[in-house]
Amino acid sequence: MMVNQWMTTFVSYAISTGLWDEMDRVYLTNKVMFLIGVDDYEKEAELIDKLAVEMVNELVNVAIQQGKIVDTAHEKDVLVGELMDIVTPTPKQVNDTFNSYYDKSPKQATDYFYQLSRDNDYIKTQAIAKNIEFPYECDYGTLNITINLSKPEKDPKEIKQAATMASTNYPKCMLCIENEGFSGRIGYPNRFNHRVIRFSLCGEPWAFQYSPYAYYNEHSILFSQVHRPMSINKETFTRLVNVLDVFPHYFVGSNADLPIVGGSILSHDHYQAGRCHFPIETSPIEKSYDILNFPNVSVGIVKWPMSVIRLRSDNKDELINVADYILTKWRTYSDEALNISAFSHDKTPHHTVTPIARKKEGKYEMDLVLRDNNISDTYPDGIFHPHPEYHHIKKENIGLIEVMGLAILPPRLKEEMSEVRQFLLGKKHQMKDYHMSWATSIKENQQITEETVDKQIEDAIGEVFLHVLEDAGVYKRNKEGQEGFNRFMETL
């Protein structure tokens, strides 16, 4: 019976991890039998060269057939978590192993933890592989475009069920340390196989984990063990630079701390990091400036569609002080001729930065991307936000990852672009009306063929993302905008 083979294979795999002994085989077999709803077992030959995620997916299918679980995303995800928890070391074991590797090198430590998080399916490698990715060449280098297909769609049955459930405040959010091992609930993922690295950052308890639906290589999240709102201040810059000492092979950055220009979770102080080189990193300095009293920090404007100030120094304390000095100036700076206002009439603040830090050639480097979250009658979603003519492709906030040149586009585009393709080729189509103006422009200005159409659609999407970044730029890439940027820099 194939079920027996999958059970035998999974139990043998669990023993092979070193977490269990051959003496534990009967115990583990009975545990798996209970989880998948099987009441009979006879040991059979193991299946060869199977990944843990393959074994677990087969066992989940058995559980559905046995009526142990219902075929919904939530119940399948919970069972996957329970099974993967069997082959995942305890939090203390993970931290002890991580620290022992860290004593040899930070890279060895993150390599261990990253591989563990992939092996136990906390990082959803199979789902991530579904994403559509392609480059877009422009005057700023190569932008990276992703249509994100990895996150599962919400099940309507589960949405209805969630509405009848009692509300709870535990954990307070999906970044809280209390998520480690949490069983989940409808609308909130289980974290049975979730593990977190504890470490001290600037004398505070912080934690490190990988993102389940990674957008880039070794996409990781560093978060305060205290649930507190995000903020951008001198302490932020200090922590970011010190993260580079903890993980020198990673970049680290923070979303902005205001709505519209910020990230999706402003309620919990956290940063994003990883082993990845983004397009913004290779963009050159266009104009350099001398900042008074900071001779050891080089400062310049970066050639980028958004408004970016780059700092470089081998003196991290001075770099932190310059970053704080620029932020303090920007918080209160206005240029009404360019619709740049630091405060509303009710004194609501509108200025902040998206900071990104990295180590290059032995120096600390920090990019400060100027952000403004004002709205207007013309742009009720945000003056410096994707403008309405581009909402058919991208209308969500432009956060840290996209600021750096990696587009995260909605999954609806996969099907919608197949209809755009049909339209461009003059075939029967069901293209959404909101793509009509854009698609018509492509058709009227290019020669479309079966051989060229896919690349033409990709380039057109990439061009929209470039325009979206330009919309989010406080100082536009024209004469008036750059003169305005220079005016601000001269105040420093």
pLDDT in tens, the chain (492 residues): 589 999 999 999 999 999 999 999 999 999 999 999 999 999 989 999 899 999 999 999 999 999 999 999 999 999 999 999 999 999 999 999 999 999 999 999 999 999 999 999 999 999 999 999 999 999 999 999 999 998 765 555 555 555 555 667 899 999 999 999 999 998 899 999 999 999 999 999 999 999 999 999 999 999 999 999 999 999 999 999 999 999 999 999 999 999 999 777 889 999 999 999 999 999 999 999 998 789 999 999 999 999 999 999 999 999 999 999 999 999 999 999 999 999 998 899 999 999 999 999 999 999 999 999 999 999 999 999 999 999 999 999 999 999 999 999 999 999 999 999 999 999 999 999 999 999 999 999 999 999 999 999 999 999 999 999 999 999 999 999 999 999 999 999
CA distance 466 to 367: 19
Look at the block and give the residue holding tokens 């051989």.
Answer: 451
CB 251, CB 357: distance < 8 Å? yes
Contact 40, 56 (CB under 8 A): no
End-to-end CA distance of the chain: 74
Residue 371 · residue 327 · CB < 8 Å: no
Question: Cis ω on the peptide bond leading into residue 171 (within 30° of 0)?
Answer: yes
Q: CA-CA distances (angstroms) from residue 257 to 32, 203, 384, 409?
A: 45, 22, 15, 22
Q: Provide the β-strand partners of residue 274.
A: 251
Residues written for the chain: 492
What distance in Å separates the CA atoms of residue 340 and residue 413, rounded to the nearest whole number? 33
CB 400, CB 254: distance < 8 Å = yes
Write the DSSP assignment of 56-91 as a string of letters.
HHHHHHHHHHTTSS-SSHHHHHHHHHHHHHHTS--H
Q: How far apart are CA 62 and CA 64, in angstroms?
A: 5
Rounded-to-integer distance, Cα 103 and Cα 108, Å: 9
Phi-psi region of 35 (alpha: psi -120 to 50; beta: other; left: phi over 0): alpha
